[in-house]
Amino acid sequence: MRFRSLFGAAAAAVVLMAAPGATAGASTLTLVHSEQVSLGAGTLTASFTDWPVRAGRSLDFTFEPAGGIEGRSGTLRAITPSGEPTALGIVGLDGEADMTLQRHPLARHAWGLDVVALPEEGWWRFEFTVHGPDGTSTATLPVAAGPKPGPPAALSWAVGMTPWAVALVFLARRWLKVRRSAVQAWND
Amino acid sequence: MRRPVLLVAAVVVAVVAVAALAFTSSPDTAPVRLGHDDVTVLLDRAGTGTVAAQVEVPADVASVSLYATMPRMGHMTPEVVAERERPGLFRATGELFAMTGPWVLTVRADDEIVTFDITVGCGVVVLPKRQVIGSWLLLTGFCSLWLGVGWDGQWHVDVGPDTFFTAPHLMFYFGSALIGLTSLAVVLPSRGATAGPGVPVLGFRAPAAFLVAGLGAAGHLLYGATDLWWHTVYGFDLLDSTPSHLSLQLAMQVQAVAVVMAFAALRDTRSGRWGLAAAGAFGVAAGSIMLDGDAFGVSLTVLGGSAVAAWTLCAVAGITRSGWWVAALGLLFVAVHAATFFFPPFATRWYSESIGQPLRDNALGVPLLALAMPLVFPLAAVVGAAAVAFARRRGISPNVAMAVLGAVIGLTVVISQLLLDEVGTNPLLAALLVTALGAVAGRFGWQSAALMRRLAPREA
C-alpha cells in the first residue's frame, strides 16, 4: 500500500509541475544566417534557423523583401536538385507546387516556412514571384543541402522496428498454440 | 489564471481516481449471470456454501432443477429442484458447489439439458472490482489520448510553433500516463487465487488487458523519448514518416486493443458492453491513422484503417454474440467522430487566443483528424448488425460470416475513400487488397473474440 501511495504521489507531483509549463508561451525563433538575392530593383533577405542546411533536417526559413511584406503577396516554388518542383511543409500541405507565401508564425513581419526539411541532398532552387506596388518581380535563391545527419535510414528503421518484430513473432507463436482451443460457434 | 487551475483540477481528479483504484484491492462478492439461447441462470455468487439461483426459461417449461459436477475431481452435487415462481421464472437455493475450482453447472428444464462452465472461488466472484474501475479509467485515458492527439495535429497545422510543454501534448501524454498508471495499479495487487483470470508474470497474475495496456503505454512513453532524440538529430519535421512516429501510432493502437480486452472481461454487464462499444469506436478511430504512406500505389492508411475497422466490428460481434451491440458500436463511433470533428478546431482556437499565438495566414480550421476517419463506418455497423442476426438465424458458420462481413467492410471503406481520392494511384489493386485483408481481419476478429470471451470470470 505504502509503495502505491508513494508512486501515486510522485506521479501527481510530476504532472502538477508540468501543468503550469503547459500554458507557457510557444518557442522563439533564432535566426543564425541570412542571404540576400536581388528581387526586381530591390533585394530579398532569406534567413535560416540552422546553417549550413542539411538534407532531411528541418529548419525555419524567413523571407523579407526590402520595404517589408506589407502590400505585397507572392508565391514560392521549390525546385529539388533533380529538377522537380515540390511542395514543402505545412504551407505546402495542399500539394500545390506554387506555395502561397504566408507570414511566419513566430516572425509575422516576414514570410516564412516553419519546420521544413529539404528531403534531397544537393543544390535546391527557391524561385520567388512577388506582386507589389512596383509590379511583379522574381528572385531565385540557391540553397545547398548537405549530407543527411544521423544514422542511415535503413539502420534507424531496423532498430526502431525490432521490438515490434519480436512482439509479432511472440504473439504469432502464442496464437498458433491457443487458436485451436477457441470455440468457433455462435454458442459456446 | 483560470486555465492552470482547471488543468490542475483535472489532474488531481484523475490522480485521486487512480489512487482510489489502487486501494480498492479487496475482492467483492457479486452475482454471476450465465446465459444460453433461452436459459439464463443468475447466481447470487459463484461460491461454496448455500447459493441462491434464479433461472429464466421459456414460459412453457414445467420443471427446472440444477446440479453441478467437477469433472477433474469426479465430484457431483445432489440435484436441487427449483420452485416455479411464475411462468418462465424459477428459484432454487442450495449447496451447488462443494469446493473451489472449475465446475460444470447443469440446468435441466423439462427434458432439455443445458450446461455452463463456471469457476468457483472462496465465496467470491473472480473478477475484482479494481478491474471494473480500471477498465473505465483505461477508457478515460484513451479518450484523452485520442482527443489530445487530434488537438496537437490541429495546432501544428493551424498555428504552428510549440514546445514540449503545450496543453495538447500534456493532454495526450496524460492519457497515456493514466493508462500506464491504471495498469500498474491493477496488476500490482493481482496475486494469488482471488486475482481472477490472469497471465503469470514475475509472480503476479496480471489480467491480460491490463498487461497489454501497461506495455502499450510503456511503449508509447519509451518511443516518445526516442522521438525526442530523433527530433534533436533531424529537427521537428512533423510530416515525415519516421520509425518513432510509426511506433507511437502502433503503441496507440495496442492501447486501443487493450481497452477492448478490458471491456470484453466485463461483457456480462450492460455497462460493460457499452464500454466495449465505446472502446471499439475509439479503436476504429485510431486505426484510421495507424499507418502512413503508400506501397505499390496503395494507400497504407486506408489499408490499415479498414483492417482495424473489420477486426473491431467482428470482435465486438464475437464478444457479445449480438447484432444489437454491433449497432451500438456504430452509434458510439458517430459520437467519437463528432467529438473528433468539433473538439480539436475549437480547442486550437481557444488555446491560440489564450496564449496569444495567432492562427496561421492559411489556417484551414478544418478538423483534419476527423476527415481521416471512415465516415461510412456506422453504415458498415448497421450492415454488420443485420449480418450477425441473419447468420445466427440461418446457422451460418461464424468463420464464414465474419470473413464475408470483413470483406464487405473493406470494400465499403475503399469505395468511400475512392470518392475522396484517398486510396492511392492504383485503385483497382487497392480495392482488391483492402477487401482481401478485410476478410482476413474479420475472421481474425471473431477468433480473437473467442479468446477474449475467456477474460470474463466465468470462463476462467
Give the pLDDT confidence of B292-335 residue by residue, as tens digits. 888 898 999 999 999 999 999 999 999 999 999 999 999 999 99
**Picking from A19-33, B61-75, B151-165, B338-352, which range would have the lowest pLDDT averaged per residue?**
A19-33
Which H helix or E strand runs over A127? strand A122-132
B/e letters for B29-51, b = 16+ CB within 10 Å, e = fewer, are ebebebeeeebbbebbbbbbeeb
Chain A nearest-CA distance from B450, in A, is: 5
Residue B297, Ramachandran bin (φ over 0: left; ψ between -120 and 50: alpha; else beta)? left
Segment B26-42 mean pLDDT: 71
pLDDT at A2 over 90: no
Chain A nearest-CA distance from B60, in A, is: 23
In which band, very low, low, confident or very high, does the pLDDT at B24 lie, cut at 50, 70 and 90? very low
pLDDT at A13 over 50: no
In which band, very low, low, confident or very high, does the pLDDT at B233 lie, cut at 50, 70 and 90? confident
In which band, very low, low, confident or very high, does the pLDDT at B124 lie, cut at 50, 70 and 90? very low
Chain A nearest-CA distance from B83, in A, is: 27
* Confidence at residue B26, expressed as pLDDT on a 0 to 100 scale: 38
pLDDT at B28 over 60: no
The residue ranking higher by pLDDT, B193 or A63, is: A63
Segment B95-120 mean pLDDT: 86
A91 in contact with B at a CB cutoff of 8 Å? yes
| ipTM of predicted assembly, 2 dp | 0.82
Residues of B in contact with A27 (CB under 8 A): 161-163
Facing B355 at nearest CB: one of A25, A108, A157: A25
C-alpha cell at B54: 434464479
Evaluate whether A49 touches A31 at the Cβ level (below 8 Å).
yes
Residue A67, Ramachandran bin (φ over 0: left; ψ between -120 and 50: alpha; else beta)? left
Task: Identify residue B218 by its one-letter amino acid code.
Answer: A
Facing B447 at nearest CB: one of A58, A150, A182: A182
Instruction: Evaluate the omega torsion of the peptide bond into residue B374 and state whether it is cis, within 30 degrees of 0.
Output: no
Chain A nearest-CA distance from B189, in A, is: 9
Using a pLDDT cut of 90, give the percent of chain B over it. Answer: 54
Point out which residues pair with B84 in neighbouring strands: B90
Sheet containing strand B83-86, strands side by side? B32-35, B40-43, B50-56, B89-95, B83-86
- For residue A151, the 8-state DSSP code is S
Using a pLDDT cut of 70, give the percent of chain A over it. Answer: 84
A82 in contact with B at a CB cutoff of 8 Å? no
pLDDT at B134 over 90: yes
**Picking from A21-25, A38-42, B105-109, B449-453, which range would have the lowest pLDDT averaged per residue?**
A21-25
pLDDT at B8 over 60: no
In which band, very low, low, confident or very high, does the pLDDT at A9 lie, cut at 50, 70 and 90? very low
* Confidence at residue B160, expressed as pLDDT on a 0 to 100 scale: 86
Q: Taken in order B191, B253, A171, A157, is the CA torsion positive or negative?
A: negative
Chain A nearest-CA distance from B19, in A, is: 6
Evaluate whether B407 touches B435 at the Cβ level (below 8 Å).
yes
Segment A46-71 mean pLDDT: 93
Task: Identify residue B331 by its one-letter amino acid code.
Answer: L
pLDDT at A21 over 80: no
* Confidence at residue B37, expressed as pLDDT on a 0 to 100 scale: 74
Give the pLDDT confidence of B174-202 residue by residue, as tens digits. 999 999 999 999 998 887 655 667 788 88
B184 in contact with A at a CB cutoff of 8 Å? yes
Residues of A in contact with B12 (CB under 8 A): 12, 16
Mean pLDDT of chain B: 87
In this complex, do A5 and B18 lie within 8 Å of one another by their Cβ atoms? Answer: no
pLDDT at B460 over 80: no
Task: Say whether B117 sits in a helix, a strand or coil.
Answer: strand
Give the pLDDT confidence of A108-127 residue by residue, as tens digits. 999 999 989 999 999 999 99
* Confidence at residue B73, expressed as pLDDT on a 0 to 100 scale: 81
Task: Say whether B113 sits in a helix, a strand or coil.
Answer: strand
Residues of B in contact with A51 (CB under 8 A): none
* Confidence at residue B252, expressed as pLDDT on a 0 to 100 scale: 96
Chain B 81-140, residues with CB within 8 Å of chain A CB atoms: none
Using a pLDDT cut of 70, give the percent of chain B over it. Answer: 89
* Confidence at residue B229, expressed as pLDDT on a 0 to 100 scale: 86
Question: A with B: how many residue pairs have Cβ under 8 Å apart?
Answer: 163
The winner for highest mean pLDDT among A21-25, A46-50, B92-96, B426-430 is A46-50
| Alpha carbon distance A102, A112 (integer Å) | 6
**In terms of C-beta density within 10 A (0-12 exposed, 13-18 middle, 19 or more buried), how is residue A60 classed?**
buried
pTM, 2 dp: 0.78
Residues of B in contact with A19 (CB under 8 A): 4, 7-8, 11, 170
A52 in contact with B at a CB cutoff of 8 Å? no
